[in-house]
Structure 1
Amino acid sequence: MSIGLWLKGARPKTLAASIASVMVGAAMARVHIEQMGTCVAVYPEPAYCAVNRAQQDLLLGRFWMVTFLCLLVALFLQIAVNYANDYSDGVRGTDAGRGGSESQSGKPQRLTESGLVPAKHVFIAAIICAGIACVCGIAAIVISQAWWLFAVGAASLVAGWFYTGGKHPYGYVGLGEVGVFLFFGLAAVLGTEYALCGMVDVGGLLGAVAAGLFSCHILMVNNLRDIDEDREHNKRTLAVRMGESGARTLLIVCCVIAWIIALLMCGTLWWPWGVVLLLSGAGVPVRMISSVKKHAFGPALGAASFQTLLFAVVLALSVAL
């Protein structure tokens, strides 16, 4: 029960989705906050200009604190979901064959199935991480006074548990990608944007769609890797339902849509260098798709995670520069 074992159980390769979503939401919020300071150059100055500047100063003063809290919420909530998934799949027997080391099985080792960690300890770890996410979320909501985010947080917790937990987990009927898109895309990005600037806009919505699709790539690669075992244990993921060929095609389609939106956003914010910088990583999705076709799922997962962060970093640079 070493720290390294727990870190592996947290599935660090998947955590890029949480980081990227918060970065995208923060970047789009920053755009709106900066625009608030723009006012007409007339004398006497309209009263609303002073009001806008005061609001801008307030939002800028708490920007980094709220961003950091949103990042902690997203990270610990995802780690909690990963532990809960480990626990639920382990007690169901879905993770059979992943009790050995990753080098032996060719797939990530699971804490519960391996027997190295008692199932109840994995469950408790999931609760602790969810609790930390709740505390950070409450702090962010109180500071930003974005009270409706309590409902978003509660929905995220419920969705995280019922992904593989409960009597009828939606991850077992092919809705896992829908959950990832909604909560790692729309909820995480738009929730962060709203907490930081008190509104959401078209730019934030586009960023949320792109971030959600990029996050789905990670799950799609995972499900393609596990397609045979999932079929055997009656886990009807989208990959199982569509078949390997259909799932690969869907991965390509989602990848193309995500990259089109990403290029549009980065080009609009910082022409032409946002596009140039993003296209410098165009080999990453190609490597992801080609690796999946070759059943080299380790490199494919790394590429899927990297392109998620690549989009967020280039978007943030496009906003800043």
Structure 2
Amino acid sequence: MDLRLWLTGLRPKTLPASIAPVLVGAALASRHIDQLGTCVEIHPVPQECVANQAIAETLQAHFWPVAILCMLVAVFLQIAVNFANDYSDGIRGTDEGRDMAESEPEPDAQRGGGISKPRRLVASGVPPKHVLAAAGIAAALAAICGLAAVVVSQAWWLLAVGALSLLAGWFYTGGKHPYGYAGLGEVAVFLFFGLAAVLGTEYALAGGIDAMGVAAAVCCGLNAVMLLMVNNLRDIVEDERHGKRTLAVRLGERRATVLFTACCIAAWVLGLFVCMTLWLPWGGVLLISGVGVPVRMVSSVPKRRFRTALSDAGFQTLLFAVVVVIAAAV
């Protein structure tokens, strides 16, 4: 077993897309609980205030166990999706030529020059059944952690969200008609790594969601979309050759790059709104301190420096989450 190859197969640069929304949801849930338990100092204390304080104490008692379980669900689910994607693309031949080291650029005669791409497990000779088994193990761990989180939080409807997430992860590139091959990958990423992850975490921890959570979820969704778009722009030639009609293939490289830039601008405008609303003006100042990263990311894509762009997209995703955590705490 090549441990380094399996670590590459985990696709660690995509993990910020799963970690960030849980951090954001947990931070906003903590803020929601604090507000719920705060009362005006009057006597006698209103019964509604006493009831809210009791609810807040109950939520605080299981905050950290549920938060950790939500984080584990997100990470294991991302790993399961990555392995399932590797398996499905590998047996279809979409990852043809992805058996070389990332430092060795793959020739691209149609575009000119070489593009550095990470290796894939099945394309590198790992038996497909082993990769599928790894995906199954990761999915099972995500399901176990998710069930535990639901039991502790009593948010039973989240079972449906978890089941849909597992199905979406498999049918992204699996099955007879994978939606990732039809250009719907970005929509699914926005829904599951943005709205579902942030709002699901907030609900599991705080028993409800709010407008700030929705705004932050949209921002996380846009950040996750950018991670996927960098990958799809990098693989546009091979995807088109193998009939994988991603959004980048459907739009063409130029228009997909424009859309990528638009998503980056929208994410930053919304991110500034969220961070400054939570902590005026310093939340916005903290976020703006990292503005050089998205500028470099947007400029790297037209130059086909996708490794740099992917790292920057991951950094931007985590930067927003960290600033939200700090701003909500302060």
- TM-score category by the smaller chain? over 0.9
Q: Summarize the alignment of residues 170-185 of structure 1 with structure 2, pairs less than 5 Å apart.
A: 170-185=179-194
Which shifted more, 300-309 or 53-62?
53-62
Are 1:205 and 2:217 an aligned pair? Answer: no
Q: Summarize the alignment of residues 78-157 of structure 1 with structure 2, pairs less than 5 Å apart.
A: 78-104=78-104, 105=106, 106-115=116-125, 117-157=126-166
Are 1:28 and 2:38 an aligned pair? Answer: no
| Matching residue's letter, 1:112 | V
Partner residue, 1:301: 310
Please report the TM-score for the alignment, with normalisation by the length of structure 2.
0.96
Q: Hey, which bits of structure 1, 4+ residues long, moved more than 6 A?
A: none
Q: Distance in 2 between matches of 1:61 and 1:49?
A: 18
Are 1:46 and 2:55 an aligned pair? Answer: no
Percent of pairs with identical residues: 63
Q: Summarize the alignment of residues 214-293 of structure 1 with structure 2, pairs less than 5 Å apart.
A: 214-293=223-302
Q: Distance in 1 between matches of 2:94 and 2:79?
A: 19
Displacement, 1:38?
1.6
| Matching residue's letter, 1:123 | L
Q: Distance in 2 between matches of 1:236 and 1:55?
A: 49
Q: Cα RMSD (Å) of the superposition?
A: 0.8
The superposition leaves residues 224-268 of structure 1 with CA deviations (integer Å, 9 ceiling, x where unpaired) of 000011111110000001011100000011111111111001001
The structure with the greater share of residues assigned to helix is 1
Q: Secondary structure at the match of 1:188?
A: helix
CA contact (8 A) 2:80 2:138 kept: yes
Q: Distance in 2 between matches of 1:131 and 1:188?
A: 18
Q: Secondary structure at the match of 1:293?
A: coil
Displacement, 1:51?
1.4
1:188 paired residue among 194, 197, 219: 197
| Matching residue's letter, 1:270 | W
Partner residue, 1:65: 65
Q: Distance in 2 between matches of 1:289 and 1:43?
A: 57
Q: Distance in 1 between matches of 2:237 and 2:86?
A: 18
Partner residue, 1:12: 12
Q: Distance in 2 between matches of 1:23 and 1:122?
A: 29
Uncovered stretches (5+) of structure 1, i.e. residues with no partner: none
Q: Secondary structure at the match of 2:252?
A: helix
Please report the TM-score for the alignment, with normalisation by the length of structure 1.
0.98
Q: Distance in 1 between matches of 2:36 and 2:68?
A: 22
Which shifted more, 163-172 or 24-33?
24-33
Number of aligned residue pairs: give it.
Answer: 320
Which shifted more, 34-43 or 281-290?
34-43
Displacement, 1:2?
3.1
Q: Secondary structure at the match of 1:123?
A: helix
Uncovered stretches (5+) of structure 2, i.e. residues with no partner: 107-115
| Matching residue's letter, 1:259 | W
Q: Distance in 2 between matches of 1:169 and 1:107?
A: 23
| Matching residue's letter, 1:38 | T
The superposition leaves residues 132-181 of structure 1 with CA deviations (integer Å, 9 ceiling, x where unpaired) of 00000000000000000000000001000000000000000100000100
